[in-house]
């Protein structure tokens, strides 16, 4: 079930939006709430379905717009696996993704700084990377997703 944002979360959301020159709207609040209520890397369509539970009139285009805005403001990350529908992730700490072959479920994998650094070190001179994406693909014996706030 989707709760409303608490004070702290709403503040953080508004601050990030304002920093990017954007406003806090009811739709954006609803979409953001969906993302942090259940951090299971939902697709746009899943976000859409869940957001409609609290805001039945919302349109799919708005969900796309909101998510695009969040990405631009650095509030969430896009997660792509091959050409499957894009998923969204509110975990901003550096991490990799593991996609379970059997279920399609995506898990966050913590990425220690030294591993991140060893990765950066493989870039030859002249290559400057702002974004590194790491995704594993295989079988997870854990059936439950890792608990998240």
Which residues bind to DNA, rule: CB under 7 A? 22-23, 25-28, 43-45, 55, 57-62, 64-66, 68-69, 83, 85-86
Pairing of strands 87-89, 106-110: unpaired
User: Which two three-digit tokens encode residue 118?
Assistant: 């060893």
Instruction: Pick the closer one to DNA by CB: 71 or 111.
Output: 71
Q: Least Å distance between CB 120 and a copy of itself?
A: 9
DSSP reduced 3-state for 126: coil
Q: What is the spatial distance between Cα 25 and Cα 29, in angstroms, rounded to a whole number?
A: 6
Q: Could you say whether residue 103 binds a copy of itself (CB under 8 A)?
A: no
Instruction: Pick the closer one to a copy of itself by CB: 56 or 124.
Output: 124
Q: Could you say whether residue 93 binds a copy of itself (CB under 8 A)?
A: no
Backbone angles phi, psi at 136, to 5 degrees: -95, 155
Q: Which partner in DNA, a copy of itself, none is near 38 (CB below 5 to 8 A by kind)?
A: none
Q: Could you say whether residue 78 binds a copy of itself (CB under 8 A)?
A: yes
User: Which two three-digit tokens encode residue 9?
Assistant: 């979360």
Instruction: Pick the closer one to DNA by CB: 27 or 37.
Output: 27
Please check whether residue 31 is in contact with residue 51, taking contact to mean a CB–CB distance below 8 angstroms.
yes
- 53: Cβ contacts below 8 Å, ≥ 6 apart: 1, 2
State the residues that interact with a copy of itself by CB under 8 A. Answer: 78, 80, 82-83, 86, 96, 98, 107, 109-112, 114-115, 118-119, 121-124, 126-142
């Amino acid at each position: 079930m989707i709760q409303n944002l608490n004070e702290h979360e709403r503040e953080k959301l508004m601050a990030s939006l304002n920093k990017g020159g954007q406003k806090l709207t009811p739709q954006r609040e609803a979409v953001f709430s969906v993302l942090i209520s259940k951090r299971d890397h939902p697709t746009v369509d899943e976000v859409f379905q869940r957001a409609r539970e609290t805001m039945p009139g919302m349109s799919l285009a708005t969900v796309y717009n909101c998510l695009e805005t969040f990405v631009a403001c650095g509030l969430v990350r896009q997660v792509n696996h091959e050409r499957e529908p894009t998923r969204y992730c509110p975990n901003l700490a550096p991490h990799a993704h593991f996609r379970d072959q059997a279920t399609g479920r995506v898990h966050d994998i913590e990425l220690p700084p030294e591993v991140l650094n060893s990765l950066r070190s493989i870039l030859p001179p002249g290559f400057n990377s702002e974004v590194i994406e790491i995704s594993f693909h295989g079988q997870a014996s854990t059936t439950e997703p890792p608990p998240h706030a």
